[in-house]
């Protein structure tokens, strides 16, 4: 039964020209996985299409047609102006992860869209070209809604980005935007989100991976360069991405990170991608027939104590779960038998290489963008952030659980600060995310083995630390120094103080209150 459906959705994941997707969809049925100009979206509809399993999706209403699970495309400087329509039985929001938008458009959960209600969202895309994403951020329900399918890709282009594609002579089918997320799957059935107390403490882990919503995803590409922008959309699982042809490693190049292109490409053969992080990669597939992308095994360094605090968010008592299940109760089913531990090897997707499209043998440009090394400003105030664990409350930032009405600290617009984020030794890796401004990584210390082996850049940094970031993983016992960019765009939308979030992007930790508010004045 899945074969035809799977084929159709695979055909429409941006790997075939849009025309073939359109003809593949019977009239009246929303096409899936198509690329859509963000500026054409009139309504973004949030709906649940399966009340038993709780599966949900975004539908972009373009007026003339509707596209389910859209990949949104925008050029830097363009507007997004749409109404978000909530058809869920729960409140929701749409957060534009990585895009610098005013608090009122950020969807951070200060105000939710009630079931049946809608909200107009309008902002200009100020960010550099890169892979961003949009996802549900209704506090306490984020993990469940994102896992249910409420996460989509938002691809921003600009001149550097187009110049790179031209230099690589990139075939349209050789440019992919992929969201990789794990799920608990039995047979070909994706099970509902039903975390146990333990899952709520360390994070929801699946046993299989879906790429843009599809199990066993395979992409047809032409021989030559392939460019892949990849998001780790897992609730909690870190990926150590590597490429294989049979048992041979296929090396590749890191082009960019969360916030767009690096100054220069870096040759690598594996890369850590923690939840919410993105990488932009170039792979020369010439001479290969089939390449598999895998997550290599690694020691995930999960060293939590035995305590199993009650991390059920209070909002859970007011709304039913999306599926017919219990959430964060001591002994809910949750199919823990199929949970694969963090760090376990996992196949991700395949590239099937076709004939050479034949336009010479272009080389990767030496320079990709004008991104400078982060300027260290001597004497910048240092803000100390501690990630820790309390027996009764779980993982915390600076010893205190999140409070929606509290502003943990305020910074002046344009201020230069260094944040020193230190994780406790008895902990696990936390992918720490900042709303609003992006940041640069200045330095790492105490990095744990598997990541340390990849720290080839100065100041103990990883190649992925050299770009603009909005999410950075901090391993147990590690300290990471970052420099956020608190200058907000010159845009009337940013008038007045802007409240943003700083949180762990392990979504169970986020819902478990590992989050703080701060304000840019």
Closest Cα partner for 93 from 310, 315, 274, 258? 315
Chosen from Cu ion, ligand C2O, none, partner binding at 278 (C-beta under 5 to 8 Å by type): none
**Nearest distance from C-beta of residue 371 to ligand C2O, angstroms:** 22
Taking residue 407's Cβ as centre, other Cβ atoms within 10 Å add up to: 12
Chosen from ligand C2O, Cu ion, none, partner binding at 509 (C-beta under 5 to 8 Å by type): Cu ion
Among 316, 339, 430, 440, binds Cu ion (CB under 5 A): 430
Q: Do residues 236 and 506 make contact, with C-beta atoms less than 8 angstroms apart?
A: yes
The CA angle 375-378-382, to the nearest 5 degrees, is 95
Verify binding: residue 276, ligand C2O, rule CB under 6 A: yes
| Residue positions counted in the chain | 521
Cβ proximity to Cu ion: between 119 and 469 the closer is 469
Closest Cα partner for 182 from 150, 153, 147? 147
**Nearest distance from C-beta of residue 127 to Cu ion, angstroms:** 12
Chosen from Cu ion, ligand C2O, none, partner binding at 501 (C-beta under 5 to 8 Å by type): ligand C2O
Among 141, 222, 231, 501, binds ligand C2O (CB under 6 A): 501
Verify binding: residue 435, Cu ion, rule CB under 5 A: yes
x/- map, 430-449, ligand C2O, by CB under 6 A: ---x-x--------------
Written as six digits, the tokens of 439 are 């940041």
Closest Cα partner for 48 from 5, 89, 82, 94? 89
Number of residues that bind Cu ion (CB under 5 A): 6
Verify binding: residue 503, Cu ion, rule CB under 5 A: no
Spatial distance between the Cα atoms of 37 and 39, rounded to a whole number of angstroms: 5
Cβ proximity to ligand C2O: between 128 and 503 the closer is 503
Cβ proximity to Cu ion: between 136 and 506 the closer is 506
**Nearest distance from C-beta of residue 260 to ligand C2O, angstroms:** 17
- Indicate the pairing of strand 71-75 with strand 151-157: parallel
Spatial distance between the Cα atoms of 516 and 334, rounded to a whole number of angstroms: 29
**Nearest distance from C-beta of residue 145 to ligand C2O, angstroms:** 12
Spatial distance between the Cα atoms of 434 and 498, rounded to a whole number of angstroms: 13
Closest Cα partner for 514 from 179, 192, 142? 142
Q: Which region, judged by CB under 5 A, interacts with Cu ion, from 62-70, 174-182, 340-348, 428-436?
A: 428-436
Q: Concatenated DSSP letters for 253-305?
A: EEEEETTEEEEEEEEES-EEE-TT-EEEEEEE-TT-SEEEEEEPP--------
Written as six digits, the tokens of 512 are 């478990």
x/- map, 83-102, ligand C2O, by CB under 6 A: ------------x-x-----
Among 506, 507, 511, 516, binds Cu ion (CB under 5 A): 506
Q: What are the residues binding Cu ion (CB under 5 A)? A: 97, 430, 435, 504, 506, 509
Q: What are the residues binding ligand C2O (CB under 6 A)? A: 95, 97, 135, 137, 276, 433, 435, 501, 503, 505
């Amino acid at each position: 039964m899945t074969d035809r459906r799977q084929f159709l959705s695979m055909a429409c994941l941006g790997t075939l020209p849009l025309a073939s997707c359109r003809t593949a969809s019977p009239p009246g049925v929303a096409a899936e996985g198509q690329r859509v100009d963000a500026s054409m979206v009139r309504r973004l509809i949030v709906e649940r299409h399966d009340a038993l399993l709780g599966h949900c999706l975004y539908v972009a209403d373009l007026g003339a047609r509707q596209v389910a699970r859209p990949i949104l495309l925008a050029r830097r400087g363009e507007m997004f102006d749409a109404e978000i329509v909530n058809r869920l039985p729960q409140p929701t929001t749409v957060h534009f992860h990585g895009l610098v938008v005013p608090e009122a458009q950020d969807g951070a959960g200060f105000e939710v869209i009630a079931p049946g209600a809608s909200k107009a969202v309008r902002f200009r895309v100020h960010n550099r070209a890169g892979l961003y994403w949009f996802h549900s951020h209704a506090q306490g329900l984020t993990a469940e809604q994102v896992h249910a399918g409420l996460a989509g890709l938002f691809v921003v282009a600009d001149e550097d980005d187009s110049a790179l594609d031209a230099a690589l002579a990139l075939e349209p089918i050789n440019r992919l935007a992929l969201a990789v997320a794990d799920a608990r799957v039995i047979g070909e059935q994706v099970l509902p989100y039903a975390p146990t107390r333990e899952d709520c403490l360390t994070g929801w882990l699946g046993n299989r991976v879906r790429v843009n919503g599809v199990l066993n995803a395979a992409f047809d590409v032409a021989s030559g360069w392939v460019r892949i922008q990849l998001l780790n959309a897992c609730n909690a699982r870190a990926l150590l991405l590597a490429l294989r042809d049979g048992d041979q490693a296929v090396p590749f190049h890191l082009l960019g990170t969360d916030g767009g292109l690096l100054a220069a490409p870096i040759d690598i053969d594996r890369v850590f991608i923690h939840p919410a992080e993105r990488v932009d990669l170039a792979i020369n597939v010439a001479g290969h027939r089939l390449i598999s992308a895998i997550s290599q095994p690694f020691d995930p360094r999960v060293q939590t104590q035995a305590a199993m605090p009650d991390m059920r968010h209070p909002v859970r008592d007011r709304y039913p779960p999306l599926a017919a299940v219990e959430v964060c109760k001591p002994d809910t089913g949750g199919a823990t038998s199929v949970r694969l531990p963090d760090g376990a090897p996992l196949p991700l997707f395949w590239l099937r290489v076709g004939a050479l499209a034949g336009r010479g043998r272009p080389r990767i440009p030496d320079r990709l963008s004008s991104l400078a090394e982060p300027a260290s400003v001597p004497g910048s105030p240092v803000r100390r952030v501690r990630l820790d664990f309390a027996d009764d409350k779980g993982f915390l930032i600076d010893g205190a659980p999140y409070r929606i009405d509290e502003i943990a600290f305020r910074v002046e617009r344009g201020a230069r600060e260094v944040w020193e984020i230190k994780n406790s030794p008895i902990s696990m890796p936390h992918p720490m995310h900042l709303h609003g401004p992006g940041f640069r990584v200045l330095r790492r210390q105490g990095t744990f083995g598997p990541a340390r082996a990849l720290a080839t850049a100065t100041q103990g940094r990883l190649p992925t630390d050299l770009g603009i970031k909005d999410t950075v993983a901090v391993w147990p016992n590690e300290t990471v120094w970052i420099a956020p960019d608190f200058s907000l765009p010159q845009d009337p939308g940013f008038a007045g103080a802007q409240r943003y979030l700083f949180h762990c992007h392990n979504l169970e930790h986020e819902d478990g209150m590992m989050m703080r508010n701060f304000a840019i004045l």
